Chain A
Amino acid sequence: MAQPILSLENVGFEANGRKILNGITFEAEEGEIITFTGPSGGGKSTLLKLIGYLLTPTSGVIRYQNKPITEFNPTDYRKEVSYFFQNAVLFDETVRDNLAFPAEIREEPFDEERARRGLQTVQLPENYLDKPVHELSGGEKQRVALIRNLMYPPKVLLMDEVTSSLDKENRDIIRSFIQRLNREERITVLWVTHNQEEIDASHRIIQLKAGEMEGIK
């Protein structure tokens, strides 16, 4: 069996004396799509944030490529294990500012061609590159944010109900794009979703309830 890209061992998280997650243990293979599902308040979002190293577990270990993630430089790790927010916020003035940010933090030139192709893939016109962000609709913002996360393709994509506030058209565009990335570039996808088509697209489903794992399908 191949080495898992991610493994969680007895991971727990407490905040303000309240247990939010407890004893989470599973492994993710490279190229897998895993869905986390379960009632709200069950700890799904927190779990994704822990894997994205935006929070640190209060117990247990998370390993990426067999090394505890605490041994990585957080900024290097987050460039490979990319967290995508439920209601992504675009910053600064234009779409270009957002798509150029990943290059900016790597101190590399902005690959405008790649940005244009990215916009096309999520069915946005190329001239959106210079569009002010406040003129975009919710679905368009979410699609631009996705391209922003993918300007430098990560190894793992963590997505927290990213299509929950979108209409069917926007949802389908994002889902089929993610599935293609998973197939063609073997990006591992861990997502929290209640959408049946997204659940059907995944290889495994992990049920979370009251901070504990209820089962794996």
Chain B
Amino acid sequence: MTESLEISNLSLLLSTLLLVMAILIDYKEKLGLGNDILVAGVRAVIQLFIIGYVLSFVFQIDNTLVTLIMVLFIVFNASFNAHKRSEGIDQSFTISITSIGVGTALALGILVFSGAIDWTPSQIVPITGMIASNAMTTIGVVYRTLHTQFRDRRQQVLEKLALGADKKQASMTIVRESIKTGMAPSIDRTKTVGLVSLPGMMSGLMFAGVDPTEAIRYQIVVMFMLIAVTAISSFIASYMTYRSFYNDSIQLTI
């Protein structure tokens, strides 16, 4: 079983044929994506090789502090990316790191406490990656939803302000909508899991030779974890963000 898990350098090299196919389509259709495909390919190889060696080192030394640093590194990166996509929202880095950080801490805490996973780097690091990347996407959706909602429902917000509503009272409908939109993908994904796609966690375990009936147990935990994480991060991000659409005189700034 383990032999089939090794990809030789030659096989890796031959797999670039897959990229060549994409480049040929680009060339024929004059899409102008050639450079992008090349850069994406090279970046993926470099980034993954580096992270492969780093993880291999982290797994070997199996040290609590180093694992924790790895977790913080992932959370920081996810927050920084969410911040970059925040479309000019005030304090978006603080908001991103709070929502991703709290979501990650709570989810990891429950998983370790329940015994679903152990505090070993080979489990903690990949799980943190899953949590943080989902939280990052969720917050991106929250920022975008708040932006469009405040723009589309501007008149409604103004009416509420004119009636004497404070920031929170004028924004509640929008805040709820944004939490809902942030959570929706993880709920949908959970509903169709197994019917449409076999998710990464489960596929990975099966690749490694784990029995499918065992692999699904991990997948169930992961799906529940992702619903919780998207709920927590979209809740925190929505409540921390709506204020930034107003000035101190409680007037809309968008």
Write the residues of chain A forming the contact surface with B, with a CB cutoff of 8 angstroms: 52-56, 70, 74-76, 78-79, 82-85, 88-89, 91-92, 101-102, 104-106, 145, 148-149
Q: Which of B155, B159, B166, B251 has the most CB of A within 10 A?
A: B159
Question: What are the 7 A-B residue pairs with the smallest beta carbon separation, nearest first?
Answer: A79-B164, A83-B162, A74-B250, A78-B164, A89-B155, A105-B165, A105-B169
Q: How far is the CA of A104 from the CA of B163 in the complex (A)?
A: 11
The contact string, 1 if C-beta is below 8 Å from chain A, for chain B 152-178, is: 000110111111111001000100000
Question: Apart from A78-B161, A102-B163, what are 7 other A-B pairs with CB-CB below 8 Å?
Answer: A54-B162, A76-B164, A89-B155, A92-B173, A101-B163, A106-B164, A148-B163
Which residues of A are found within 8 Å of B161, using beta-carbon distances?
54, 78
The count of residues in chain B whose C-beta lies closer than 8 Å to any C-beta of chain A is: 16
Which residues of B are found within 8 Å of A54, using beta-carbon distances?
158, 161-162, 251
B249 interfacial by beta-carbon distance below 8 Å: yes
Q: Which of A56, A75, A92, A101 has the most CB of B within 10 A?
A: A75
B4 to chain A, nearest CB (A): 59
B152 to chain A, nearest CB (A): 11
A85: contacting residue among B155, B166, B169, B251, CB under 8 A: B155
Q: Contact check, B159 vs A89: say whether CB atoms are below 8 A apart.
A: yes
Q: Contact check, B163 vs A82: say whether CB atoms are below 8 A apart.
A: yes
Q: How far is the CA of A100 from the CA of B172 in the complex (A)?
A: 15
Write the residues of chain B forming the contact surface with A, with a CB cutoff of 8 angstroms: 155-156, 158-166, 169, 173, 249-251
Q: How far is the CA of A86 from the CA of B81 in the complex (A)?
A: 42
Q: How far is the CA of A91 from the CA of B176 in the complex (A)?
A: 15
The residue in chain A whose Cβ has the minimal distance to the Cβ of B166 is: A75
B249: contacting residue among A56, A83, A84, CB under 8 A: A56
Q: Contact check, B162 vs A55: say whether CB atoms are below 8 A apart.
A: no
Q: Contact check, A105 vs B155: say whether CB atoms are below 8 A apart.
A: no
Which residues of A are found within 8 Å of B155, using beta-carbon distances?
85, 89
B1 to chain A, nearest CB (A): 59
Q: Contact check, A102 vs B159: say whether CB atoms are below 8 A apart.
A: no
A89 to chain B, nearest CB (A): 5
B162: contacting residue among A52, A56, A70, CB under 8 A: A52
A102: contacting residue among B164, B166, B250, B251, CB under 8 A: B164
Q: Contact check, B162 vs A104: say whether CB atoms are below 8 A apart.
A: no
Q: Contact check, A85 vs B173: say whether CB atoms are below 8 A apart.
A: no
Which residues of A are found within 8 Å of B169, using beta-carbon distances?
104-105
Q: Which of A55, A91, A102, A149 has the most CB of B within 10 A?
A: A91
